[in-house]
Structure 1
Amino acid sequence: MSDKIANWTSRDDAMVEDAIRRGANRRELLRMMLMGGVALTAGTGILGRATAALAAEPVRGGHLKAAGWTSSTADTLDPAKGSNSTDYTRCCSLYNRLTYIDGSGRTTMELAESVESGDATVWTVKLRKGVTFHDGRSLTAQDVVFSLKRHLDPAVGSKVNAIAKQIADVKALDETTAEITLTAPNADLPTILALHHFMIVADGTTDFSKGIGTGPFKLREFQPGVRSVVERNENYWKAEGPYLDSFEFFAIADETARRNALLSGDIQLAANLNPRSMRVLENDPAAQLFVTKLGTYTDLNVRLDMAPGDKAGVAEGFKYLINREIIQKSVLRGLAEIANDHPIPPWSPYFNAELKQREYDPDRAKSLFQKAGVLGQPIRVTASEAASASLDYAAVLQQAAGEIGLGLTIDRVPSDGYWSNHWIKDAVHFGNLNARPTPDILFSLLYQSEAAWNETGFKSEAFDRMLLEARGLLDEAKRKEIYGEMQSMIHNEAGTVIPVFQSNVDGASPKLRGLVPNPLGGQMAFGAAEYVWFEA
């Protein structure tokens, strides 16, 4: 056996198991392994082992109670409008996407059998056959047309409208074939379609209160800001799963209460635990830790179009005032990677390693605040449990501010309503972004001049032009060069302070099985309910 085959065998059997659980057929699995350099005979053996392991492991049945960290009366079952992890978790239970990003970060197929293009502008989507919605309707290309076009309608209020604007047209060629035409080439389209917002809904849907999708669970109960309960879709199209009979999800905003609910057995999955809880959980047999290294971050946003951020040097001052090392080592107990005030993590192939790392420099921060005329004036910073660890970040920032004579007041607000009432709207506030798989998606969501999630009001015609240019390039070297320059622009010009990239820590019952990391977020990118099971 060659080293490559041996390495595959020891490293990626779990990935094959994950693909089987998601409904990949034998042809797709063998093609995936052949692309990885595995001989057909070896691939057949790997497939046999994975199939046998799956047959021996999963157990059907049981009710999973899981707690996230944020919810509000604005919670929604409309995937286009989802704005936080709670929305994503519900939508992953009820709907599917055309494509899916697996645990290795690769884009694979879900409702689509293939998504292909010869020029990166006109894309042909072939749908799987035999897929039905919860109400018994068959999935057709017209559902794809309707779902994608919704993001272009301003009345819908899609959170990915800025990304979707690159879609010029979507039409059904036949019952199972759709054609997507872009305004300009974009080689990332299959990956973009794997975002949580691009879930496929039934043609003509206007009432989302019933949560009718093609997903692994059917809706039993939904109370915005309170809880949701779903039950297994017995007619689910995938060969494996879901294994749970039902799944209940709600928020416990207080992290200590969420952790204690896990330890007492009231819940079996506690999302997004504070790293400081690790010492308690590591030595308690009632819990197991599940750590996922992500491009997720909590950021301080200084609006450039509001006082005091509209004064030159204020946003830059905050960037030098944040002590990244304390946040990494003390607040997050080492479960983080230092960031440099832009959203591309160091492990991305597009990361700009030549951009000088900004260091903690309170003297420079003081000088910048003095020149801006804000030193000694009161500045309010909005923080909430809704933005992961932001209260701890705020405490670190407030202490540093006190040492240079900057008067920071931390306005601690409830989780309920934070994303609709404070995020993006307050002059200086914290946000929290779940990982995204490509620079184009991050830049389009957060920094394009008209982006719905433009947290600091950053506007640059040059940045917008570069975004379009890089999007259609097939020359990866040139693309990396442009993305590197865009990272520099965000680093220097935007009002975003990104101190670290956080690893996600979920706590789970020792009896809960099937959890594997996913680069899009904790709880298997918020879709754990479809794949986990309880040990018999």
Structure 2
Amino acid sequence: MTKTPTNWTGRDDAMVEHMIRRGASRRDLLKMLMSSGIAAAAGGSLLMRASAAVAATPVMGGNFKAAGWSSSTADTLDPAKASLSTDYVRCCAFYNRLTFLDEAGQVQMELADTISSDDAQTWEVKLKPGVLFHDGKTLSSDDVVFSLKRHLDESVGSKVNSIAKQMTEISKVDDLTTKIVLQAPNADLPTILALHHFMIIADGTTDFSKANGTGAFICEVFEPGVRSVATKNPNYFKAEGPYLDSFEFFAIPDNNARVNALLSGDIHYAAAVNPRSSRQLDGNDSVATLVSTSGNYTNLNMRLDLNPGDKAGFVEGMKYLLNREAIQKSAFRGFAEIANDQPVSPANRYHNPNIKPREFDPERAKSLFDKAGLLGVEIPVVASDAATASVDMATILQQAGSEIGMNLKVDRVPSDGYWSNYWLKAPVHFGNINPRPTPDILFSLLYTSDAPWNESQYKSDKFDSMLVEARGALDEERRKAIYWEMQEMVANEAGTAIPVYISNMDAFTAKLGGLKPNPLGGMMGYAFAEYVWLDA
């Protein structure tokens, strides 16, 4: 009979952890333990404990390669102009925000030591002392004032200009203290400052080719539309991290090529993997996946100011022609939740569950198209691999249309240049929106009359005024009621159809540690480079 020692010590645990790190298989370890007199059950328990310790213990060093799914020659290191996931990943690596959101969606301080207000209108931001930019300059409130004021300068072209406009005063109190006064009270300001666009840059910065920030990595190479290479910041202000020596990031637009690059070991991380690839990945011990549903979606945009979106009944007909269940099951292989044509997902506490998704009703759609005089008229629907699963969604829509006499022509265009040449411009096209933490941010970016990404050119004075009211409503129930009504307005009036909320799946080497879900999206809200490590 095998005798189990009672004096198994922490030193022995450390030995097993060391062997795991050196690549010993579970079978080899069990054989070793049993030959040493450890029962199989006890050995299995030990391995579980040691494996968990290995997974939770950061490892220093390593050169990390990750691939996103889209890139453009318009890629930028200017946080104010960032618009793609590739921009966000780089900005998170090179810069820091005043605050950030943790995996639970809670606001944590980053460059700010404290952010406080007595009335949610006048705010005081105190900075952490001794933080250095990559060029050796010490962070001060001058940098905060400059960074935030840039968003108010129309010539900059900031993507969050409409959100930043609520800041009516941004002033220096002392070297580490900044005063921010809002047009009206907004308790969401600390959350807003966690957006990727509100990264802090050095006072007076005009050259963004080198990304002089305070971030965990220093930019060594940046080739827009191609790649970036970064090295560890030796003077990083946080007590821990980054763990990696270097970080290379680029795009592989083709999903199969991205997955194959991971499986062959050419990259360590493949972002936004198509659910169709799950069969390839299942059962492969060398890779792992992280699935999260945080509000990302691909939507069908129909501009209300262009033909055919300007014809009564067209938008509503298209929403009834969307077979949401088919899109969920076929386009996303079940990795999605049915949506109700508005951007606030069930992951958000302000989501309105009373808005029921439109049923798939081709006959009702046909009646609406007939009244609009559009049956038989060729209507181009622009889709691209740049907008996740939009080609599959367009094909499902086209097939449904063909059965009722609707001539929808799928115009598949390349990923390169899609966001600059087709998104926001084509009469009928797809978008892909990353998660945002508050309804105020979503509506300000996408649906107010002056929204920079108003995909369907939806205009409503009532909607605009309601957003301002909700922003200043300190009564939580009143605020919730306003947001619920605004979601109804978007679902019924805007030219955007949101059939599902996507469950994002990232795939990565099993040697990767430290990865967690984040409410700002995949890749830990695009900030993964700072927090992950590679096990030896």
TM-score, reference length from structure 1: 0.89
Contact 2:217 2:233 in 1 (8 A): yes
Q: What does residue 255 of structure 2 align with?
A: 255
CA contact (8 A) 2:296 2:434 kept: yes
Q: Is the 1:282–1:289 Cα contact (8 Å) retained in structure 2?
A: no
DSSP-derived class of the 1:320 partner = helix
Q: Which residue of 2 aligns with 1:83?
A: 83
| Cα shift at 1:56 | 6.9
Q: Which amino acid is 2:506 matched to?
A: D
Shift, 1:461, TM fit: 0.2
1:529 paired residue number: 529
1:53 Cα offset (Å): 6.6
Superimposed CA distance per residue, residues 460-519 of structure 1 (whole angstroms, 9 cap, x where no aligned partner): 000000000000111010111111110110011000000000011011011111111001
Q: Alpha-carbon deviation of 1:359?
A: 1.2
- What residue number does 1:239 align with? 239
Amino acid at match of 1:392: D
| Secondary structure of the corresponding residue to residue 348 of structure 2 | coil
Contact 1:262 1:508 in 2 (8 A): yes
Taking the aligned partners of 1:201 and 1:405, their CA distance within structure 2 comes to 55
Query: 1:337–1:502: 8 Å Cα contact kept in structure 2?
Result: yes
CA-atom RMSD, angstroms? 1.2
- 2:492 aligned partner: 492
Larger Rg: 2
Q: Secondary structure at the match of 1:203?
A: coil
- Aligned residues, how many? 485
Check whether the contact 2:341–2:357 (CA below 8 A) recurs between aligned residues: no
Q: Which region of structure 1 is more displaced relative to structure 2, 328-337 or 387-396?
A: 328-337
Residues 447 and 459 in structure 1, CA contact (< 8 A), matched pair in contact too = yes
**Structure 1 residue 330, shift from structure 2 partner:** 2.2
Partner secondary structure for residue 294 of structure 1: coil
Residue 33 of structure 2 is matched in structure 1 by: none
Q: Secondary structure at the match of 2:423?
A: coil
Asked whether the equivalents of residues 56 and 513 of structure 2 are also in contact (C-alpha less than 8 Å), the reply is no
Number of the residue aligned with 2:282: 282
Which residue number corresponds to residue 62 of structure 1?
A: 62
C-alpha distance in 2 between matches for 1:109 and 1:400 = 49
Q: Please list the CA deviations of residues 384-409 of structure 1 after superposition, one character each: whole Å capped at 9, or x if unmatched.
A: 11111111111111111111111111
Q: Is the 8 A contact 2:56 2:514 kept in 1?
A: no
Identify the residue that residue 142 of structure 2 maps to in structure 1.
142
Aligned-partner SS, 1:404: coil
- Indicate conservation of the 8 Å contact 1:296/1:502, yes or no: yes
> Corresponding residue for 1:425?
425
SS at match of 1:266: coil
The alignment status of 1:295 with 2:305, answered yes or no, reads no
Q: Which deviates more from structure 2 when the two are superposed, residues 116-125 or residues 282-291?
A: 282-291
The one-letter amino acid paired with 2:423 is: W
Q: How does 1:7-406 map to 2 (within 5 A)?
A: 57-406=57-406
Deviation at 1:287, TM superposition (A): 1.6
Partner of 1:413 in structure 2? Answer: 413
Which residue is equivalent to 1:517? 517
Q: Secondary structure at the match of 2:293?
A: strand
Alignment of 1:461-480 (within 5 A): 461-480=461-480
**Structure 2 counterpart of 1:231, one-letter code:** T
Q: What do residues 175-196 of structure 1 show as CA deviations (whole Å, max 9, x unaligned)?
A: 0000001111111100000000
Q: Which amino acid aligns with 1:234?
A: P
Structure 2 unmatched ranges of 5 or more: 1-51
Does the CA contact (< 8 Å) of 2:55 and 2:513 recur in 1?
no
User: 1:414: Cα distance to partner?
Assistant: 1.0
In structure 2, the CA distance between the partners of 1:534 and 1:130, relative to structure 1 (3 Å rule), is: same
Q: Distance in 1 between matches of 2:509 and 2:136?
A: 35
Partners of 2:352 and 2:495 in 1: how far apart? 19
Provide the rounded CA distance (Å) in 2 between the counterparts of 1:131 and 1:512.
29
Q: Matches of 2:174 and 2:263 in 1, distance apart? A: 53
Cα distance per residue 1:331-359 (max 9 Å; x no partner): 21221111000001123221222223311
In 2: Cα distance, 1:56 partner to 1:274 partner: 28
Residue 503 of structure 2 aligns to a residue whose secondary structure is strand
The Cα shift of 1:55 comes to 11
Give the 3 Å change call, closer, same or farther, for CA 394–135 of structure 1 in structure 2.
same
What is the match of residue 26 of structure 1?
A: none
CA distance in 2, matches of 1:55, 1:282: 20
Cα displacement string for residues 58-98 of structure 1 (whole angstroms, at most 9, x for unaligned residues): 11111111100100110000010001100000101000000
SS in 2 for 1:492: helix
Q: 1:64 to 1:461 in 2, by over 3 A?
A: same
Per-residue Cα deviation, 1:353-377 (whole angstroms, up to 9, x for no partner) = 2223311111111111111111110
Residue 130 (structure 1) shift: 1.3
Residue in structure 1 matched with residue 32 of structure 2 by the alignment: none
Q: Secondary structure at the match of 2:344?
A: coil
List 4+ stretches of structure 1 deviating above 4 A.
52-56
